[in-house]
Amino acid sequence: MLKGINLVYGYGNTTLFEGINIEVQPGKFTVILGPNGAGKTTLLKILAGFLKPREGTVEINDQEIFKLPAKKRARMLAYVPQEPETLRDYSVWDTVMMGRYPYQGFLGLETKKDFQGVKKAIETVGLAGYEERTLLSLSGGERQRVYLARALAQEADYILLDEPTNHLDLFYQVKILSLLKDLAAQGKGILAVLHDLNLASFFADRLYLFSEGDVITGAAGEVLTFENIYKAYKEPALVVNHPVLGIPQVLPLIINKSSGGKTRVHIIGGGGMASGIMLRESQQGAKISAGVLNKSDSDWQTAKALGAEVVEEEPFSPISQESYRRLLEVLKKADKIVVAPVPIGPGNLQNIEALLEVEPKKIFIVKPEEMEKRDYSGGRATYIVNSLIKAGAQKYPEA
Ligand SMILES: Nc1ncnc2c1ncn2[C@@H]1O[C@H](COP(=O)(O)OP(=O)(O)OP(=O)(O)O)[C@@H](O)[C@H]1O
- Structure ipTM: 0.97
Torsion of CA 40, 46, 50, 56, to 10 degrees: 160
Q: What's the rounded Cα separation, in Å, for the pair 312 and 315?
A: 9
Q: Evaluate whether 281 touches 265 at the Cβ level (below 8 Å).
A: yes
Pairing verdict, β 158-162 and 55-60: unpaired
Q: What's the rounded Cα separation, in Å, for the pair 386 and 231?
A: 43
What pLDDT shows up at residue 84?
63
What pLDDT shows up at residue 120?
95
Q: What separation in Å is there between the alpha carbon of 77 and the centre of ligand 1?
A: 22
Q: What separation in Å is there between the alpha carbon of 363 and the centre of ligand 1?
A: 52
* Positions in the chain short of pLDDT 50: 258
User: Which of ligand 1's atoms lies nearest the C-alpha of 162?
Assistant: 22
What pLDDT shows up at residue 254?
59
* Residue 66, CA distances (Å) to 21, 45, 52, 69, 186 in order: 17, 12, 8, 8, 27
Q: What's the rounded Cα separation, in Å, for the pair 259 and 283?
A: 11
* Among 382, 385, 390, 391, CA closest to 359: 391
Q: Evaluate whether 79 touches 51 at the Cβ level (below 8 Å).
A: no
User: Which of ligand 1's atoms lies nearest the C-alpha of 193?
Assistant: 22
What pLDDT shows up at residue 106?
66
Residue 305 region by backbone torsions, left for phi larger than 0, else alpha for psi between -120 and 50, else beta: alpha
What pLDDT shows up at residue 313?
93
Complete domains list, the chain, with CATH? 2-250 (3.40.50.300), 258-395 (3.40.50.720)
Question: Which residues lie with the beta carbon below 6 Å from any ligand 1 atom?
Answer: 11, 16, 34, 36-42
Buried b (16+ CB within 10 A) or exposed e, 352-375: bbbbeebebebbbbbebeebeebb
